[in-house]
Amino acid sequence: MPQHIQYIDKICREKQRDVLYLTFNKDSFSTTDWSSWHSRQDIIDWLDKNHMNHTPCGDVANEYGFSSYKGQIYIDVPFDESDPDFIKLSRFLEHPDGSCKFEGVTFCYLPLEHAMKNQHHDEPGYWEALMEDF
């Protein structure tokens, strides 16, 4: 079923705060079908069990190139080291040294300041006008 997937920087601007998301290195998995990656599904199951909202997201938008969805997941937990949900999430995903417990998974944070560099993407008709010249 087709679905509309937001770019992570758009989500960040809508939330008006830094955001957390996961990326997946397809070379670490035996198939390129992201929906069959066990570690991805294990993470989703854990997020659901722990009542942490999440949604598919795209990479940071780039008007100079496009890519297909690669399984990325936005996690609706603030990047705040004193937040109980953030602590729980980071303990689930990371070793004490900050490396990810799941092979091929990267736990990412996007600062609002960086996302604001693409604020012009939110102007009405921006993407449509860009596609006219593509």
The Cα-based distances of 62 to 102, 107, 126, 127, 130 in angstroms read 28, 21, 12, 11, 11
Q: Which residues pair with 55 in a beta bridge?
A: 74
* pTM metric for this prediction: 0.88
Q: What is the pLDDT along the chain (134 residues), one digit of tens a residue?
A: 577 889 999 999 999 999 999 999 877 767 777 777 889 999 999 999 999 999 999 998 877 777 788 899 999 999 999 999 999 999 999 999 999 999 999 999 999 999 889 887 767 866 676 677 66
Q: Report the Cα 3 to chain-centroid distance in Å.
A: 16
Q: Which CATH number fits domain 8-132: 1.10.530, 1.10.20, 2.60.40, 3.30.70?
A: 3.30.70
Note the pLDDT of residue 35.
Answer: 77
CA distance 59 to 77: 18
CA distance 84 to 105: 22
Ordered by start, the domain boundaries in the chain are 8-132
Note the pLDDT of residue 69.
Answer: 84
